[in-house]
Chain A
Amino acid sequence: MALDKNGIAQRIAQDLRDGWYVNLGIGIPTLVANYIPEGIEVEFQSENGILGMGPFPFEGEEDADLINAGKQTITAMPGAVYFDSATSFAMIRGQHVQLTVLGAMEVADNGDIANWKIPGRMVKGMGGAMDLVASADNIIVAMMHTNKKGESKLLSKCSLPLTGVGCVKKVVTNLAVLEITSDGFKLIERAPGVSVEEIQNATAGRLVVEGEIPEMKLN
């Protein structure tokens, strides 16, 4: 069965490593914080100016001055720190953040990503996404494999305005884990019960399938 959003987040959380600073984007990426593997310590950075972001506050304890990049009320963990936006992007551009997880509207098989604009219809802006994808060493895209119309979001070329070129390393969808290689999307794992054929049918870009493809192991 295809994963839901929480399943995608759970699978991405398995890639977290002890001691990492991690920036989570809005949407599915935010859920990754709920599945940190036991025995691993990571700190979450939110680009509006906090390192050491904690969970949502208890009801009645919201602070209008303490939000994440999605403008949601949050809390700060012991040892957290606040900083200005220039310092925040120095952390990002300077590659002090080890992993960036973000959503996308489209990903191409060369690692291009589009997630900020649909010409003539929706223009929200790129926020920090262009800085994040241009600089991060390790970028995982979390998204559904197809859009609401059932069309593939994994393409040979993005049709929407780009956010970054050749930057995505890995994509985790409701159907599969894929790595970007010079030959295109390389299928690494299947969602439980999802066949290679289903993934092939849902992938418009080049897909490399080598040998037996294992199923994801989720609790």
Chain B
Amino acid sequence: MNKVVPNVEEACKGIESGMTLMLGGFGLCGIPENSIAQLVKMGVNDLTCISNNAGVDDFGLGLLLQGKQIKKMISSYVGENDEFERQMLSGELEVDLIPQGSLAERCRAGGAGIPAFFTPAGFGTEVAEGKEVREFNGKPHILESALTADFAIVKAWKGDTEGNLVFKATARNFNPMMAMAGKITIAEVEELVPAGELDPNFIHTPGIFVQRIFKGEKFEKRIEQRTVRPKN
């Protein structure tokens, strides 16, 4: 089944103000940068964004924050972004911070038809407030519910016309789970190849989870913390 759309404009068609979006990536690594730029252009607002991080001030989801397009963020770590911190502390932006492993599993559960699950993460902390607690093997766990989204937007290294995806290195992160949890999943890829070219043994995300795929025009791939060691 051919999932290819010609460009980012077609890929993002149907995204409207007030929707819930999932956006893959960890920090600035593996984020769908072409689609984020398109969301800025479209000017949609009141968005609920589910993403591990909120970008930096002038890149990634930071761009949507600058335009006040986001109403609520569901994330695990939001440091490195001053505008985010300002909007959160002033109450303009609603923020739901959840443990990273719970966030990943909630997305996976959403895509896998599991409505909720118990995890030990967050027991006895603010995160557990209002959540059911149950003991398993003598240890308290809290009930976490699945997450889904109107659109999930992911970024992969290679993809084929069927929507099968291969990720590179640690740019994989949240992308596979979010691809599963979107009612419509958009994948932007660096290389788009014909069906049959990717080895089926080495595909990370099966195309069944992807509804639209396109080749991103440009990937800046900004590095957040450039750390090196000297050459001897």
Contacts and interface: CB of A to CB of B under 8 A. Distances in A.
A14 interface: no
A48 B228 contact: no
A165 B174 CA distance: 27
Given A84-B177, A85-B104, A93 B119 contact: yes
Contact of A73 (B80, B95, B225): B225
Nearest to B78: A125
Interface residues on chain B, size class: 35 or more
Contact of A127 (B76, B119, B222): B76
B134 interface: no
A84 B79 contact: no
A89 interface: yes
Interface stretch (A50-58, A142-150, A198-206, A208-216): A50-58
A174 interface: no
Nearest to A70: B225
B151 interface: no
Contacts of A123: 78, 85, 88-89, 95, 97
A58 B229 contact: yes
Interface string B65-82: 000000000011111100
B121 A131 contact: yes
A78 interface: no
Contact of B79 (A57, A72, A124, A162): A124
A58 B125 contact: no
Interface-central residue, A66, A120, A131, A135, by most chain B CB under 10 Å:
A131
A57 B229 contact: yes
A125 B77 contact: yes
Nearest to B106: A86
B212 interface: no
B108 A86 contact: yes
Nearest to A120: B89
A121 to B, nearest CB: 8
Q: B78, B108, B167, B169: which has the most chain A beta carbons within 10 Å?
A: B169
A208 B157 CA distance: 55
Interface residues on A, range: 35 or more
B229 to A, nearest CB: 5
Contacts, number: 186
Contacts of A4: none
B122 interface: yes
B102 A131 contact: yes
Interface string B53-70: 000000000000000000
A55 B100 CA distance: 24
Given A131-B99, A134-B121, A48 B78 contact: no
A92 B105 CA distance: 12
Given A73-B223, A73-B225, A127-B77, A84 B123 contact: no
A104 interface: no
Contacts of B101: 47, 85, 88-89, 92-93, 128, 130-131
Contact of B29 (A60, A67, A120, A127): A67
A156 interface: no
B227 A72 contact: yes
Contacts of B41: none
Residue from the set B85, B89, B229, B230 with the largest chain A CB neighbour count within 10 Å: B229
12 contacts: A62-B223, A64-B28, A65-B170, A65-B171, A66-B169, A71-B27, A71-B225, A89-B105, A126-B76, A134-B121, A135-B121, A161-B126
Interface of A: 46-50, 55-74, 76, 82-86, 88-89, 92-93, 112, 117, 120, 123-131, 134-135, 161-166
Given A62-B226, A165-B124, A165-B125, 9 more contacts: A56-B228, A57-B229, A59-B231, A73-B223, A83-B172, A84-B176, A86-B108, A120-B89, A123-B78
